[in-house]
Structure formats: C-alpha cells, structure tokens
Structure 1
Amino acid sequence: MKPKQIPGVPIQKKGGFHDTEGTKQFEIVKIDSKFANLKERFFAINRWKEYCGNASADFKHFDASGDFVDRFPQKGDFIRIDIPGPGMIQAEGYDWVEILHLTHTDTERSESYMMMCRPSKEPNKPKGYIEHFYTASATSNMVISKEGNFLKSGIYGRNESPNFKVPFWDQIRNFLIAFGGIFGFGKMQWKILADGLLDFE
C-alpha cells in the first residue's frame, strides 16, 4: 500500500508511514456550523485527551519559550506528548514535537486546515537530543476538512524512523515504539484522535 498524495504533506522517502482518517456526514445546511465546531476542537490541543478518552495519549501546548499556553496554535509552538507506556528518560517521560506550518485552504468545493509537526528537542533545552521516538526527518501532518456534507479529520505520518541519537535505554524504548508503529499500534493512537475530534454529537 502506498501513502496517499495529500497537498502539503511531505513526500514519503524512507521509514514508515501511515494515513489515518475519520469521516462524519451531516445535513448540508449544518455543515458550516459543524466545521466550526471541528475547527475549535482541532486547535484546542490541551483538550485532545478529553475528546478522545483514557486510551489516548495526552497532549499539552507550549509556546516557543517553553511556557504552557491555552490558545490557538502558532508556527514555532510545541506540543508535549505523553503516550501510554514508558516515556523517554531524557525528557522526563515525554515526547516533543514542534509546529512547523499551519495552513488554511478554502475553495468553492472544500475548506481545510493543516498543522505540520516534527520531532524536536524540548523548547527550553536548545542543546541536546531530539526528545521523540522518531527522528527529525519524520512529520505528523494533521488535517481537518469539509467537502459537501462530509467532515474529515486525518493524520498523515511520513518518513518515520526510530530515533537512536539518545542514551542507551531511550534507544531501546524508541525502537520498541517505532517497531510497534510499523505494525499499526501507533496508528491506533492516531485513529483514536481522528475519530475523537469528530465525536461532538
């Protein structure tokens, strides 16, 4: 199976990938208001676990200086991820990604928002290791869209390879999580998020 060609999503070159999507149908007269609801949930990063339940990872939003924030995300912000299971020792149990891009596309037929994230160091530790189980070549590309009377949420992972440039025990942990991702365990987490964002009725 080949990765989907999604506008704005990087080309798959090496490592693993996944295309994880959820869709929901509404009455056409309600689609604009429902998309507004989805947009609000999508950009409320600190509430993602609330939308997705206890089986989900926990996500927290930080600004470029490493301060916790509760607002719409911006380019250069960070997301701290606490996935179920053991975390990185070096990062006190967390994984970190930086928000690289935020884009909005609006045409006659559809409207979408995309947030591209990449594994990163902690925002308040400019020197040191990438604090994530994937290398900095990986991206997670999160998209919400409306077309016709359908809403869609999707997470598209590209170029996912284990991060071994960390202390020994974190190497083992990163390999096990990345290995699990190859066999669909990571995709299960993203599926929980994709469906949870749409579960507002």
Structure 2
Amino acid sequence: MKRPEDIIATQQTGRATDFMESRDYSTIKEAHENFKKAARRLLLVNEWHQYAGVGSAVFSLTNNEGIEADGFAQEGALFSINLPAPGSDAGDGLEWVMIERMEAFEDEHAIEEYVAMLVRPIPDPRKADAEIAHFYKDVSTNTLIVKRKGKTVSAAVHGRNETPNNSNVGLHDKVRNTVVALSARIGLAGPQWKKLVKGFLE
C-alpha cells in the first residue's frame, strides 16, 4: 500500500521543515468523518486563509493561465499566494506554485486513509518570461498531508530543499526573496503553517 509520506521530496539542499497537528477520536467512524472534513478543507485552497486566521497569506486557486478558479485542488492546477509582506516583481506581488502531484486513498475500513499534495514554485503563468515567482527556488517543495491512521487524524506540511530564490532574478527580488526566505528560516513562517494545519482539523 502507498504511504502519503512517499511523495515528500528527498531532502538534498537548503532547509527542511515539518509542522503537524493531530486529533484522537473514540471510534473509527468518528475519525473517518473528521478525516473527510479535514481532507475537504485541504482541497479547498481558496479557503485556506480562513483556516489560518487573521494576518495569514491569501491563497487563490487558478487554471494554467493564472485565471482564478473555484472548486477543489487537482494535480496540475496552480495557485497564487499573497503574503502579508512586500511582493515579488516576478509575480507582480504574488508567489506562484503548481500542484505537481496528488495522491489520495479513502476507505473507512482500512488502517490508514489520506490525501497528499506536493507543490513547487513556478514562474507567473500570466507572463512570458521564465523567472520563478517565489521567494524559494523551484528545487523547494511543500507537501501537505491529511490522513487518518486508526482513530487519529493528522494534518501536516513538510517543506524540503528550502533555498532562497536570489539568483537569476532582478535586484529587487534578489533582496526581497533573501529577506523573506531568511524570515521564514528564523521561524516567522512556522506560526502560519501551524495555524493552517490546526485549522484543517477544527
């Protein structure tokens, strides 16, 4: 059987981060119902800022042309991120990522069920240039996982190869991306990820 952790990128360079929350339930049925609710929240990217709370980034699901879209996340879809910080020139104020891979398994009678999503920085799809529109390079990934194992439901974000995007970009973005990435490195991004994974479970 596949494991959701199998899609987490191998750590090779930069920094790795892990943020997780979990809830225990009295029955498998109750855990399964709460898993389904948390999985739905993971897939509704446009609502993530509501789960993360005041002052969080705003996430917007789009098609491959950067036009905002409704509905559930799916493999190959994009989303923009409007950080509560100065934006990049490359993304006209936004960070951009693609949902590179998704895995899901739902079965109340199985030991484990899950939804997993791996995202990676990309250029702004509304522009013709190939400059990555994110404060991290495209070797960086985030893998978001909601799963039920037995009577426990968990939500997690696993960052891998987190490396500042400060080469092959303009001077403003070089400085800006370095500052934002270093801010994330010293822990300023952690509280937002913690609030988001906690929000998936509430």
After superposition, the CA RMSD in angstroms is 1.6
Q: Do the aligned partners of residues 187 and 142 (structure 1) sit closer, same or farther apart at CA in structure 2, a change above 3 Å counting?
A: same
* Equivalent position amino acid for 2:149 in 1: E
Q: State the Cα distance separating 1:105 from its structure 2 match.
A: 3.7
- Indicate the residue corresponding to 1:50 in structure 2: 50
Structure 1 stretches of 4+ moved >4 Å: none
Distance 2:106 2:49 in 1: 28
Normalising by structure 2, we get a TM-score of: 0.91
- Tell me the amino acid that sits aligned with residue 99 of structure 1: I
Corresponding position of 2:198: 195
For residue 126 of structure 1, report the CA deviation from its aligned partner.
4.2
Q: Which amino acid aligns with 2:199?
A: G
Q: Distance in 2 between matches of 1:123 and 1:153?
A: 29
Q: Gaps (5+ residues) in structure 2?
A: none
- Maintained 8 Å contact 2:34/2:201: no
Deviates more, 1:5-14 or 1:138-147: 5-14
What letter matches 1:45 in structure 2? V
Matched residues in 2 for 1:120 and 1:112: separation?
A: 26
Assess, with a 3 A threshold, how the Cα gap between structure 1 residues 148 and 173 changes in structure 2: closer, same or farther: same
How many angstroms does 1:75 deviate by?
A: 1.6
Question: Which range is displaced more, 84-93 or 131-140?
Answer: 84-93
Question: For 1:1-201, what aligned pairs fall within 5 Å after superposition?
Answer: 6-28=5-27, 29-105=29-105, 108-164=110-166, 165-199=168-202
**1:110-165 CA-partner distances (Å, limit 9, x unpaired):** 11111000000112224231000000100010100001211111000000100012
- Output the amino acid matched with 1:132: H
Note the residue ranges of structure 1 that are not aligned, 5 or more in a row.
Answer: none
TM-score by length of 1: 0.91
| Inter-partner Cα distance in structure 1 for 2:59 and 2:142 | 14
**1:6 aligned counterpart, secondary structure:** helix
